[in-house]
Amino acid sequence: MQNSIGAPKQRLSLSDPKVRAWLFQIITIVAVVSMGWYLFDNTQTNLQHRGITSGFDFLERSAGFGIAQHLIDYTESDSYARVFVIGLLNTLLVTFIGVILATILGFIVGVSRLSKNWIIAKLATVYVEVFRNIPPLLQILFWYFAVFLTMPGPRNSHNFGDTFFVSSRGLNMPAALMADGFWPFVISIVVAIVAIVLMSRWATKRFEATGVPFHKFWVGLALFLVIPALCALIIGTPVHWEMPKLQGFNFVGGWVLIPELLALTLALTVYTAAFIAEIVRSGIKSVSHGQTEAAHSLGLRNGPTLRKVIIPQALRVIIPPLTSQYLNLAKNSSLAAGIGYPEMVSLFAGTVLNQTGQAIEVIAITMSVYLAISISISLLMNWYNKRIALIER
Amino acid sequence: MKMLKSTLAIVSAAAVLGVSGFAQAGATLDAVQKKGFVQCGVSDGLPGFSVPDATGKIVGIDADYCRAVAAAVFGDATKVKFSQLNAKERFTALQSGEIDILSRNTTMTSSRDSGMGLKFPGFITYYDGIGFLVNSKTLGVKSAKELDGATICIQAGTTTELNVSDYFRGNGLKYTPITFDTSDESAKSLESGRCDVLTSDKSQLYAQRSKLATPNDYTVLPETISKEPLGPVVRNGDDEWLAIVRWTGYAMLNAEEAGITSKNVEAEAKGTKNPDVARLLGTDGEYGKDLKVKKDWVVQIVKQVGNYGEVFEKNLGKDTPLAIDRGLNALWNNGGIQYAPPVR
């Protein structure tokens, strides 16, 4: 429009910052793409020249080896693709349990470090300093070789009421098998959750309107316990238990948590919790003492002060570094190869790579998996962080 | 550490594979001669095959094989550098050019010989088979058929993983495999009772047993459930280097067959009347030149390393803690199946 009126026509010139910006971006893209293409092409040529098979056909071939722990059904004649899924699930299992336990333990230790009780505070300090400063692989090896493998064999296992057995083969426990009442029971839990959500909404609304508090937690807990219990009483038990029995070399029946899983989860939990404790402590410390005094002067007691004033503000400081700790835990789970827990790296980037010899494909897949897991955790935590962020008006 | 090391090895190998040049015929020998030594991939510590002794020198039949190749190429058996590799690292190390020979109790199979960029020269250092090591005191098992439901320790990335699975499936038995990166870890787990059984090539089982705290409590079960011909491996596409590695082994067998030992080889080289021996030792013909090694290559191999029988006895034989019988590994005219084509 302006040009047509008669302003001087703009020409492409390097002195124009816009042109420069575009130019540099184009150069960067061309450089990155051609570098990538060069690497890809060179790899392909070399693989072909050396007669190394490439491509992803191997995923359909049958694996032919056994796996100690698989969350989905698996036999030796299943494909490498299924082995991949098993490795992925095993990694996710450790990450999931580890994140939950480390968060709980980390919060407890972090708060304990600030406790007015001298012994508790010092114990928490010692915990943090010890476990934060020992490399995670050593901790994994310690739990595995020094703790779990020194347990007695299955025939002399520690027996807890004939239901739980701890031995060098892991933790054997009764298995819950689906009974007639299983699906009604699941439905009753869903009903309970819906009831809790409705109750909580109603309570919040009433609180905002009238200022009368409501015991959300206790009522919620009651709902959660009573509804499924009634269902089980009326329709019948949701599960029946299968006890582990010693037979031949080992326990038969029931569920078993293998020592590799226990050692790995425990080591990663204890290690990561030490970092989380420090993060929690710094978060709480970041809320100035004036906030506490202000809350007290408004008549809030210690509990509500912590819950409604301190923690919401502390969380804004805690969440971003907490995300990195979760990512670290997910990535550290790959150290399991040292103790033979069949996760992604040990199973897929280890055994499968070796049996097929297709290093590039296998490593590429494995790296993408860790990238995907890490990005998912990041996105989830960023979403949560946004939700709890201070809304500035 | 182990994990980090192997991951690094694999990733760097993948990277090197991506950017290094072509493998051409003759390239390996040229490169070896230029750098002045043979880079040899051996195990991470397997008595009798390749294990560091008290002075840190790697000893064993696999290590001696690399020394023999160095003796043939340089006339000096000490011109070898060793890389200790675990089972998972070994093929990538060879594919990427990190090592020139893989001499690491590796089973020859068709899939490893094709599609992985590797070639087995075909010489078999040791004819082996998979067996089971159990604690005879606590288990009281006499045969592998009684192993239903057992937990089994295996080394990751080996043919053992596949063969054990075949055996148990074939016999309708159940088992739980626990796989470790190194043979030491699996042995430790057998001792601690994590597994009922340690399974591996039988030669390895004897070696592992000798390292346990109470070796006499452990027995190797009588069954041999698979064929495991162990031999050296080279990269695909370099026939010249493959021939050198292959004929080094055959030369050692031929020397044993002709009765040439490290003690008498120099005298034989000078004064032999036997035309076979004259060809083998380079006094007649140019067989070494055709292979592009020293003219007196066999003399150097036998003088500095020994013939096959000497190397076997020194590392695995009756006077060693392993005390393994020659068995299948005896010469063909002596009840075994070691049979070398002639040098001529």
Residue A265: the pLDDT is 95
- Which amino acid, residue A31? A
Among all residues of chain A, which has the CA nearest to that of B188? A145
Whether B149 sits inside 8 A of A247 (CB atoms) is yes
Token pair belonging to A71: 């969350």
More reliable by pLDDT, A221 or A46: A221
Whether B237 sits inside 8 A of A51 (CB atoms) is yes
Of the candidates B2, B10, B149, the beta carbon closest to that of A248 is on B149
Percent above pLDDT 90 for chain B: 52
Residue B3: pLDDT band with limits 50, 70, 90: very low
* Ramachandran angles phi, psi of A213, nearest 5°: -75, 160
How do the domains of chain B map onto residue ranges? 27-127+230-326, 130-226
Residue B46: the pLDDT is 87
Of the candidates B17, B148, B151, the beta carbon closest to that of A169 is on B151
Residue B25: the pLDDT is 58
Q: Is the domain B27-127+230-326 a CATH 3.30.470.20 member?
A: no
Mean pLDDT of B66-87: 94
Over 50: is that where the pLDDT of B1 sits? Answer: no
- A167 Cα to chain B: minimum distance (Å): 9
Among all residues of chain B, which has the CA nearest to that of A361? B14
- A168 Cα to chain B: minimum distance (Å): 5
Among all residues of chain B, which has the CA nearest to that of A356? B116
Which residues in chain A have Cβ-Cβ distances shorter than 8 Å to B23? Answer: 49-50
Q: Tens of pLDDT along A102-127? A: 999 999 999 999 888 999 999 999 99
Over 80: is that where the pLDDT of A378 sits? Answer: yes
Shortest CA distance to B28 belongs to which of B215, B228, B243? B243
Whether B88 sits inside 8 A of A338 (CB atoms) is no
Of the candidates A249, A345, A351, the beta carbon closest to that of B150 is on A249
**Which residue, chain included where needed, has tokens 């290590």?**
B63
Q: Tens of pLDDT along A278-308? A: 999 999 999 998 999 999 999 999 888 888 8
Q: Tens of pLDDT along A134-160? A: 999 999 999 998 998 888 888 888 888
Whether A359 sits inside 8 A of B10 (CB atoms) is yes
More reliable by pLDDT, B23 or B308: B308
**Helix locations, chain A, DSSP H:** 2-5, 17-49, 80-113, 118-132, 136-141, 182-210, 216-235, 259-286, 289-297, 302-304, 311-332, 353-356, 359-388
Question: Which residues are within 8 A (CB) of B192 and not within 5 positions of it... i.e. 6 or more apart?
Answer: A145, A149, A150, A168
Measured distance CA(A74)–CA(B66) in Å, rounded: 42
Over 60: is that where the pLDDT of B10 sits? Answer: no
* Ramachandran angles phi, psi of B264, nearest 5°: -100, 5
Residue B273: the pLDDT is 86
Mean pLDDT of B326-341: 93
Say what the pTM is: 0.79
Give the C-alpha distances (Å, rounded to integers) separating A195 from A164, A215, A223, A225, B71: 35, 15, 7, 12, 83
Over 60: is that where the pLDDT of B26 sits? Answer: yes
Residue A155: the pLDDT is 80
CA dihedral B244, B250, B253, B255 (to 10 degrees): -60
Residue A9: pLDDT band with limits 50, 70, 90: low
How do the domains of chain A map onto residue ranges? 78-173+242-386, 179-237
Asked if A42 has any chain B CB less than 8 Å from its own CB, the reply is yes
Over 80: is that where the pLDDT of A180 sits? Answer: no
For chain A positions 229-288, those within 8 Å of chain B (CB to CB) are: 247-250, 252, 259-260
- Which amino acid, residue A6? G
Mean pLDDT of A354-366: 88
Angle formed by the axes of helices B61-74 and B308-315, to 10°?
A: 140
* Ramachandran angles phi, psi of A387, nearest 5°: -65, -40
Q: Are A318 and A49 in contact (CB under 8 A)?
A: no
- A102 Cα to chain B: minimum distance (Å): 23
Q: Tens of pLDDT along B187-229? A: 888 888 888 899 999 988 888 888 888 888 898 898 899 999 9
Measured distance CA(A19)–CA(A17) in Å, rounded: 5
Token pair belonging to A20: 């420069």
Mean pLDDT of A194-199: 91
Mean pLDDT of A155-183: 84
A91 C-beta neighbours (distance < 10 Å), count? 27
Residue A33: pLDDT band with limits 50, 70, 90: very high
Specify the CATH architecture of the domain A78-173+242-386. Orthogonal Bundle (1.10)
Residue A7: pLDDT band with limits 50, 70, 90: low
Over 70: is that where the pLDDT of A4 sits? Answer: no
Over 60: is that where the pLDDT of A8 sits? Answer: no
Give the angle A56-A61-A62 at the CA atoms, nearest 5°.
145
Over 90: is that where the pLDDT of A217 sits? Answer: no
Q: Is the dihedral of CA A40, A45, A49, A51 positive or negative?
A: positive
Whether A52 sits inside 8 A of B117 (CB atoms) is yes
Residue A393: the pLDDT is 62
Q: Tell me the three state secondary structure of residue B292.
A: coil
Give the C-alpha distances (Å, rounded to integers) separating A55 from A34, A364, B12: 22, 12, 20
Whether A363 sits inside 8 A of B164 (CB atoms) is no
Which residue, among B2, B28, B161, would best test binding to A if mutated, counting the most A CBs under 10 Å from its CB?
A: B161
Shortest CA distance to B327 belongs to which of B339, B341, B319, B338? B338
State which of A354-363, B65-74, B160-169, B323-332 shows the largest mean pLDDT. Answer: B65-74
Residue A10: the pLDDT is 64
Mean pLDDT of B233-238: 91
Average pLDDT, chain A: 88
What's the per-residue H, E or C state across B34-51? HHCCEEEEECCCECCCEE
Specify the CATH architecture of the domain B130-226. 3-Layer(aba) Sandwich (3.40)
Average pLDDT, chain B: 88
Give the C-alpha distances (Å, rounded to integers) separating B48 from B24, B35, B158, B319: 34, 29, 19, 12
Token pair belonging to A114: 């600030």
More reliable by pLDDT, A9 or B136: B136
Over 70: is that where the pLDDT of A17 sits? Answer: yes
Token pair belonging to B128: 């082996």
- B24 Cα to chain A: minimum distance (Å): 9
Residue B245: the pLDDT is 96
**Which DSSP category does A66 fall into?**
-
Measured distance CA(B329)–CA(A27) in Å, rounded: 64
Strand order in the sheet with B218-220: B175-180, B150-155, B197-201, B130-135, B218-220
- B70 Cα to chain A: minimum distance (Å): 25
Same topology, domains B27-127+230-326 and B130-226? Answer is: yes
- B140 Cα to chain A: minimum distance (Å): 11
Over 50: is that where the pLDDT of A311 sits? Answer: yes
Percent above pLDDT 70 for chain B: 92
Residue B19: the pLDDT is 42
